Amino acid sequence: MSFISKFDGEWYVCEATGEGVREIPLSELSGEYRVYNIPLPLLGSETVRDFVREHKGRKYYNLGYLWKALYVLTKGNFPRFMTNKEVCWDLVFEFCDDMGTEITDEYVPPYLINFLSYVGEL
């Protein structure tokens, strides 16, 4: 899961990968993908750029899914520092939250099903 944004006339994909959060031109994305439109308040491209700059390079940990599952299953009693912004959907959900549109509750899994329901795919 990732998000796209437009900056200086070009579309970019911001995604969490094994190497960390990165941004690439949409034109360089290979394979199939789907784009879902989530209405966000118009906050300006600089607000989006600030978010990307703040998160770029942040590490994505393979065990992030396990830590996140433990966090959710214990209803937040598992230390959040082990789960904070380490899996792909967290990046997208935090982006939407920071832009003014909350699309899911972090305590209500499964996130992908919640997301698809939010965008009208279920």
For residues 114 and 104, the answer to whether their CB atoms sit within 8 Å is: yes
Sequence-ordered list of residues with C-beta below 8 angstroms from that of 97, at least 6 positions apart, any chain: 103
Question: Of 16-25, 86-95, 111-120, which has the strongest mean pLDDT?
Answer: 16-25
C-beta neighbour count of 77 within 10 angstroms? 9
Number of alpha carbons in the 13 Å side-chain half-sphere of residue 103: 27
Q: Per the structure, how many domains does the chain have? A: 1
Q: Distance between CA atoms of 100 and 47, rounded to whole angstroms? A: 11
Which pTM value belongs to this model? 0.72
Regarding predicted confidence, which is higher, 113 or 57? 57
pLDDT in tens, 70-111: 777 787 776 655 555 556 777 888 888 888 888 877 666 556
